[in-house]
Amino acid sequence: MESLTLVIFGITSNLAQIKLIPALYDITEKGLLPKKTHIIGVARSPQSFGWIKDYFHQTLHSENRHHRHSISSEVLKNLNKRLYYLNGNLDNPKFYLELVKLLKKIKSDNTIFYLATYPELYQDIFANLKKARLNSQARGFTRVMIEKPIGNNLSSSRRLNKLLSQYFSEDQIYRLDHYLGKETLQNILTFRFSNRLFEPLINNKYIDHIQITSSEDFGIGNRGGYYDKVGALKDVGQNHLLQLLAFALMESPSEFTNQEITRQRLKILQKLKPQTAKIVFGQYQGYLDEKNVEVHSKTDTYFALKTFINSNRFKSVPIYLRSGKKLAQTVTEVAIIFKHLPGASRASTLIYRIQPNEGIVLKILTKKPGHTTQLEDSYMQFCYQDGNPLPDAYEKLIADCIRGDQTFFNDAEEIEAQWKFIDPFFAKASKGKPLIYQPGSWGPKEADQLIQSDGREWLEPSMLFCKI
């Protein structure tokens, strides 16, 4: 493939500025774009000639905690020569006629449409793309990338998937959850299924319980308008945490293909059993003072829940998930806690650390050097080495879409299985207010009681390993 056009609807969006434009720079720097690649940024406001290049330059040189490496003038020059800008309203059919003219001028056979827009615009965008015959694959491929959340409950996700299927075939649709593009998440599959050492232990004979934590030490920032309508469980629980769970516990795929890996993830998601009495919703003190938050908002900024997988392999193994903002640490990990051996004071733990201190770690008990037998925690670890920065998730997923690899994207059934599991918890949420917790804590004390009632404790994620 030599020619490609990437059309980004919503080029001035927060998503484009923080994630997409830096990812396009990195892809350009690594030579992953086809030789004749063009990038068309779309927004509503008319702009002067050359504005798009100045906008990319300004965006890439702005402070961005997700993209902190230096910007090469040569790479930026290479990226600039690919850029076009087109303004218009996405609900206006006339705009798409202008887009057709530009695509003909560019003479590209393959097109990717990236929707960095509000989901409310999808219907108009899809209908107008079809009316202008831009969803066709008569010559090359046409693909569409859309962001999570796919709907806000099971019924709305089904409507959106049905809408997508009216205009595109499933092989054209790339539903993006950026956690699936994380190198550390994808490496779980390699670790589990290329090394047979631990896989025989991942079952109820050896596992006591599993904890999945995704915490942030900061608040919602300027996302109040979006976040207050969604909350923590829908924002990260329905997608990120369930995908972490699926990767850590799915059965071995018979082959490393999109269809087989997705099938195994789906099987786990469909076997999850919601324990609607076992959930705690929290809200950090001061949330109501955040910008664009409703005065009496009941939105959750924290949740903790307990669940099980209805399978012989994991029968009676409890799984605890928690996530929140303004907590004690920013950390994401899966911890598999094994059963105590007779005489051992603590259990061994296998940890998949997604961020920070990225790596895969086995926490074990060892003897302290000396004349007496005193035990201490030690770590056997694989760590990502400094000097080899991990590729950004968006960089990887855009590159995968260009190649036509859907392995680390969600399909319709997967999205619907996630919502089917999550939806029952909101009946409880609607009946009361979230519990207030202090910033810098690990959430409301009721979340501690959730796990303590089973004779267990939340692990405090360690920063002692993979300190490169």
The CA distance from 384 to 425, in Å, is 37
The CA distance from 226 to 68, in Å, is 26
Nearest to 214 by CA among 467, 442, 466, 447: 442
Residues 182 and 354: beta-carbon distance below 8 Å: yes
Residues 115 and 175: beta-carbon distance below 8 Å: no
- 281 forms beta bridges with 303
**From 240, 296, 340, 371, active-site residue:** 240
Burial of 248 (C-beta count, 10 Å sphere; 0-12/13-18/19+)? buried
Alpha carbon separation from 445 to 282, 323, 431 (Å, rounded): 10, 14, 20
**Which two tokens mark 433?**
């207010």
Helix (H/G/I), strand (E/B), else coil: 237: helix
Query: Tokens 């509000």 — which residue?
Result: 118
Query: Tokens 């009681």 — which residue?
Result: 449
Residue type, 16: A
- Cα within 13 Å of Cα(461), Cβ side: 28
The CA distance from 287 to 393, in Å, is 29
- Helical spans, DSSP H, in 404-444: 412-422, 425-429
Residues 35 and 2: beta-carbon distance below 8 Å: yes
61 is catalytic: no
The CA distance from 175 to 270, in Å, is 19
Residues 236 and 216: beta-carbon distance below 8 Å: no
Would you name the residues annotated as active-site residues? 240
